[in-house]
Amino acid sequence: MIGLGVTAGTGGSGAGAAVLGLMIMLVLLVGVVFVIVMSLFVFAVFLFSTQVIVIEGYGPIGALRRSWNLVTGSFWRVVGILVVTWLLVGVLQWLPAYVVQLVLQILFSAPEEFFMLQSFSTIANYVILIVFLPIQMTALTLLYYDVRVRKEGLDLELKVHSDNLATEAL
């Protein structure tokens, strides 16, 4: 639509302008899809940076490298679980937010109460976020441990460590 409006005023033929407009829209669509895919890629490969910093004690650059190494080899599995987690948490978060928003719209329906509506709506959204963000972070941390177990045999390493501690205690 935008491409058609821009090219129609250039004095070109109707069919040529329409084709050029469609080509511009196609290029924009491909560009948007490319940006979304690349953003998802970058987010997925650096997904475990927080867990690596907190659990393994790496610095920022080391955590990015470590996260990249962990995700390598199980990229599509991590992306799939990440998308499902986002959808589940999003729906669980959206339902109470929608109900609260409806109640607030009823309570503060007058135009002069707009700022009260916005204030309470913001507070309610933060409370809902505080409730559901730990659920999402817990899911990502469990995914981090799952990737470590599958990639590095973390469960075997922990078993050997606990067996060594048990023999030292004797």
In this structure, the answer to whether residues 37 and 63 fall within a common structural domain is: no
In this structure, the answer to whether residues 83 and 162 fall within a common structural domain is: yes
In this structure, the answer to whether residues 2 and 37 fall within a common structural domain is: yes
In this structure, the answer to whether residues 132 and 150 fall within a common structural domain is: yes
> For residue 14, what are the domain limits?
1-41
CB 25 within 8 A of CB 3: yes
**Residue 68, token pair as written in the block:** 């990249």
In this structure, the answer to whether residues 99 and 17 fall within a common structural domain is: no
14-23: per-residue pLDDT in tens?
788 889 999 9
In this structure, the answer to whether residues 34 and 110 fall within a common structural domain is: no
Closest CA to 152 of 66, 58, 23: 66
The count of structural domains within the chain is 2
SS3 of residue 73 by DSSP: coil
In this structure, the answer to whether residues 30 and 54 fall within a common structural domain is: no
Closest CA to 19 of 36, 3, 31, 37: 3
12, pLDDT greater than 60: no
In this structure, the answer to whether residues 104 and 55 fall within a common structural domain is: yes
84-124: per-residue pLDDT in tens?
998 998 898 999 999 999 998 888 888 888 888 899 989 99
Q: Which residue has the higher pLDDT, 26 or 165?
A: 26
Other beta carbons within 10 Å of 104: 19
